Amino acid sequence: MLPGPQKIDVVLLTKNSEKPYLKMCLESIYANIPVRKLIVIDGYSSDNTLRLLDNYPNVSIIQMHGSRGASRQKGINEVETEWFAFIDSDVILCKKWYDKIRININDSTGAIWGVAIPTSPSDLKRCLAVSKFYHRSLGNTMLIEGNRRGMLHDTIIRTRLVKDIKIPSELHVWEDHYLKQHIINKGFSWISTNTAYCHHFANLTARNIQDLIEFGRISRAYGYYSWRRILIFAILGLPKASWIYALTRDADVAKWQLDAYRMIIAGWLSNEARPKTN
């Protein structure tokens, strides 16, 4: 028998999540995870998100306003199983995802993340170009980023390690890394694997680039990005954007990469780069 419990709770954050493919996400969850309860933390969706959820068994919906950090905290508080999973609403799990994930469980395992493969056309083009920039495969490129940051697209977590966590309510970004550090600080490992994976629809170029200013601010406030990392962003911004354009001939994708680094640096250098109180 494979390690790990036979049934786990799953926490899903939603807010107007019907598109791009919430239905396929839910189908992949129930097909590939032995769900005891699906705990949905919903930001008062006004689309068909809640109606879609009505079609699935053992769903508990909690509606609240707040950051991603606050929503993840609420989900953790509701978990009752020995292990649980965070699954994002814009991913589709690979076949036998849970079985592929739990072969990594041992006494020192705190969490396991399955690599997220981008599927939106713009982000896939960008990531493929970046992987060639570093002379890596796409899978290894995404795996390295997951190892560095700690992602929660499709992640199982040992519940007792996070029942005492108090995720700062300001963390709409970096809440994943905060959670990872909490687990590592207890002496447990955070494993990234490309054996288990999900297809992730993250249309980054359609998002508000200004959000990355907050990403940069938080990265400094909590000590996640050092001066060295920010200097690397400054040095690589134009060469990487030029490389992306040379390979993709997509000016919007190349500009997004350059602007992303620029906004992160601006946020990191801002006068407000310090933790806020809850």
Bridge partners of 140, per DSSP, are none
- Ranges of beta strands (E only) in the chain are 8-14, 35-42, 59-63, 83-87, 91-93, 109-118, 154-158, 189-200
Q: pLDDT tens digits for 85-96? A: 999 999 999 999
C-beta of residue 86 within 8 angstroms of C-beta of residue 11: yes
CA distance 261 to 99: 37
Residue 274: what pLDDT? 58
pTM, 2 dp = 0.91
CA distance 43 to 226: 33
- N residues, the chain: 278
Residue 278: what pLDDT? 43
Q: What angle do CA 61, 64, 66 make, to 5 degrees?
A: 135
Residue 20: what pLDDT? 83
Mean pLDDT, each 10-residue run in order, the chain (278 residues): 83 94 96 97 96 96 96 98 97 97 95 94 92 91 85 96 96 95 97 93 70 92 94 96 96 92 94 55
Residue 273: what pLDDT? 57
Residue 5: what pLDDT? 76
Q: What are the φ and ψ backbone dihedral angles of 190, each rounded to 5 degrees?
A: -115, 110
